[in-house]
Amino acid sequence: MLSDVTTPQDLDDRFRETLAALPAAERRRDPADPVTDDAPLTGGQVLDLFDAQVTSRQLDLAGRWLRSFGEGFYTIGSAGHEGNAAVAAALRPTDPALLHYRSGAFYCLRAAQAAADPALAPVDPDATRAAADQSPADGRARTVDSERSAPAETVDSEPSTGTQPTVDGAPTRAPGADPRLSESEPSGIEQAPAANGFAAYADAARDVLRGMVASSLEPIAGGRHKVFGRADLAVVPTTSTIASHLPRAVGMGLAVERLRRLDSAGRRTGAGMRVGSGAGATHAPWPPDAIVVCSFGDASVNHASATAAFNTAGWYDHAGLRIPVLFVCEDNGLGISVRSPEGWVEATLRAKPGIRYFSADGADPVRTYEVAAEAAAWVRRNRRPAVLHLRTVRLMGHAGADAESAYRGPAELAQDLDRDPVAATARLLVDAGVATGDELLARYDETGWQVRRLAEEVLGEPKLASAAEVVSALAPRRPVRVARAVADAAARASGPGAGARAEAFGGKPPELVGPMTLAQSINAALADGMLDHPQMALFGEDVAAKGGVYGVTKGLRDRFGAARVFDTLLDETSVLGLGLGAGLAGMLPVPEIQYLAYLHNAEDQLRGEAATMRFFSQGAFRNPMVVRVAGLAYQEGFGGHFHNDNSVAVLRDVPGLVVAVPARPDDAAPMLRTCLASAAVDGSVCVFLEPIALYHSRDLYADGDGEWLAAYPEPGGWVAGHVPIGRARVYPVGSADDLTIITFGNGVRMSLRAAAVLAEEGVGTRVVDLRWLAPLPVSDIIRESSATGRVLVVDETRRSGGVGEGVIAALVDAGYVGAARRVAGVDSFVPLGPAARHVLVSAEAITDGARTLLAR
């Protein structure tokens, strides 16, 4: 009897009733024959789909069982969406996949594909190395997956024969790839063991169950969250349940195509595709003709991130650039309780310019496979984006706590049960004579028993036992390796790369130019970075042809070409999404956000996507990135708050994010080199916040003194001038014994002016430039503060939520007992024109604050 909520018992009973009522076919069909006379799948292959679907269904039932006695922590399941197993079958196991939370059957089928032929599993040496560096608290080495070992070769390890078909001069199939994976046979299902029952899916089931119970042995997130992900399956964990992973998918597609073109130009050196040379080289983790698949729900179509991703993919397609991405919209008609209006999703997806539309009913496994195979082949052949609109149902509600009776009636629930995709696959197998209802029910029960057995096993596995274990994979800091990378870059620039460097700078390297401004120093450092990191790409709004709004990237496109320095469309979410995907694909992206205020349009790409990748994959995946942001206030005669945004609070509380603020030209270059090295070595996500008002400043104390200019160091001086992450710079003024001023950015210039005035009054000051806002240079703060016992914190951001709060808290936590005072911006947006002076910090306010502090 169907209740007003589809419970696990309802679903199980209804499935059993359906199978019991199926009449046996008049004759048995050989599983090696097509399941129907004109079907592209054999009976055995459909049995494989059935087993993947049943495994996923039993995992959902096990999740509810675990939750019933407080041992399961995740009940969002895939029931009703199991048709996505046929989508997995139509793809190759080396196609990178970003899966949403109802992708259980897809995940199970892909695991079976890879298990059947390990030679097809993708290998990323850099990811394997990064994962091995992550060790739990007990000292055991952790690899990408401790229970599985990756093969030593990738599918494209053999040299190209030059005979394969091409698109735009590039091969459509990975050279040396398994011939079974040709364009005429896009499926990977033939790699799975036909009718092999639960054995082919046991590892996948264990993975999912470990995620449900937060086991620290779970192979991708290690108990931090329940996600679908495994490096050896090319399944990239997505940390959001809504559409924030779609912009990353577009970036991955763009990067895969760029690296494919590099490979087709002959830049192949052994296993995988290796781009560049020296320490800056990287392995591309997927075959050159791979496509990216990204799944999401119908409600996510309405999310701004999805709109950005579709628009960007279509925009680039219209511009003639290729992005091989297959979007898969799994449409069950509901976003928790909010319905998608009838026809809305189809109309929306069909209307996306530059994106080919395909559709299928997830309750029809053969047709779903046919359409998915057609869509995948079209994307692979044309290297262009497409969307597969897969109609599904949702069974057992959104999650365990979802009271469906509040928004769905029994009749609607019964209609969804009639479209149960697992029952539909069973019906196809019985009607075709491949199996009987009793035989399929026996497979269902055997799988259920095996899943329950595994669930009981994982219950006893360890959980993350300390804060140290939780954060161990968050953001590694290996300063010695970073310093070594900078030293290696210097050696290359002055040695084997000296000729190319001289040519890139037109015969006059920057160290011979003379004193530089902040903008000029950043420009030169970016050029040196492009020379040393062949996989580095610089992009954003106006960065190429115009050279940036402030000229900071001027001339870089001419030096390094439009493939490495390019303009993007005007959308910050997409700019960061391109960077996220490019980093994941093996590039070193340096996107620019034109103004700090515009970053707030896309904060989730940093918070929810970039900073979490290592955390939720234990380092198996990473998205190294250096985000350049022009920001902070004090632009004279220009702006208002959009061009004078002085808030960085949203950046400072993102775990693992590095936030750098260079104030002087002689800090900008080494800090940028450090960020690039940290991204390359540790996979760090760095925000390089550049004070706009200091870009072209030349003077410090008086007009014409040139005290804010600095010479660019030659490569031989890079090691001595290296600036580690989290280390401050101290400027002694006078005796430096009376007062410590702690500041950053524009505050450094103003504080040095104030210190000069105080020096004339006999006050010795040490001005501490934090340089790094995350992580704060706490040890330097404590040392320099204790040296004088009087601390003035000069914070050009706001009093509430500003950097100064973090500095004061660090002093309190360290037991500092001296005097302290803050001078900070007013809690206000920055107004236009002279009114800005009323809410921003000034040199006069710093001087007055110092005098008040000294008078205590």
Catalytic residues: 643
Neighbouring C-alpha atoms within 13 Å toward the C-beta of 331: 24
Q: Which residues are within 8 A (CB) of 45 and not within 5 positions of it... i.e. 6 or more apart?
A: 35, 89, 189, 190, 192, 194
Report the C-alpha gap between 32 and 43 in whole angstroms.
6
CA angle 100, 103, 107 (to 5 degrees): 120
SS (H, E, C) 76-133: CCCCCCCCHHHHHHHCCCCCCEECCCCCHHHHHHHHHHHHHCHHHCCCCHHHHHHHHC
Cis status of the peptide bond prior to 775, with omega within 30 of 0: yes
**Closest-CA residue to 390 (of 124, 88, 686):** 88
Report the C-alpha gap between 28 and 458 in whole angstroms.
40
**Closest-CA residue to 440 (of 449, 429, 450):** 429
The strand pair at 166-167 and 170-171 is best described as antiparallel
User: Per DSSP, what are the bridge partners of residue 790?
Assistant: 819
Neighbouring C-alpha atoms within 13 Å toward the C-beta of 463: 11
What secondary structure does DSSP assign to 417-480, as a single string? HHT-HHHHHHHHHHHHTS--HHHHHHHHHHHHHHHHHHHHHHHTSPPP-SHHHHHTTT----HH
Q: Which burial class, exposed, middle or buried, applies to 196 when counting CB atoms under 10 A from its CB (0-12, 13-18, 19+)?
A: middle
Tokens, residue 15: 């499935």
Contact 823, 792 (CB under 8 A): yes
Outline where DSSP puts E strands in 206-291. 235-236, 273-275, 282-284
Composition of the chain by helix, strand, coil, percent to 5: 45, 15, 45
Report the C-alpha gap between 810 and 785 in whole angstroms.
11
**CA end-to-end distance (rounded Å), the chain:** 80
Report the C-alpha gap between 29 and 47 in whole angstroms.
12
Report the C-alpha gap between 478 and 496 in whole angstroms.
26
Q: What are the angstrom distances between the C-alpha of 77 and each of 59, 208, 278, 398?
A: 8, 11, 46, 8
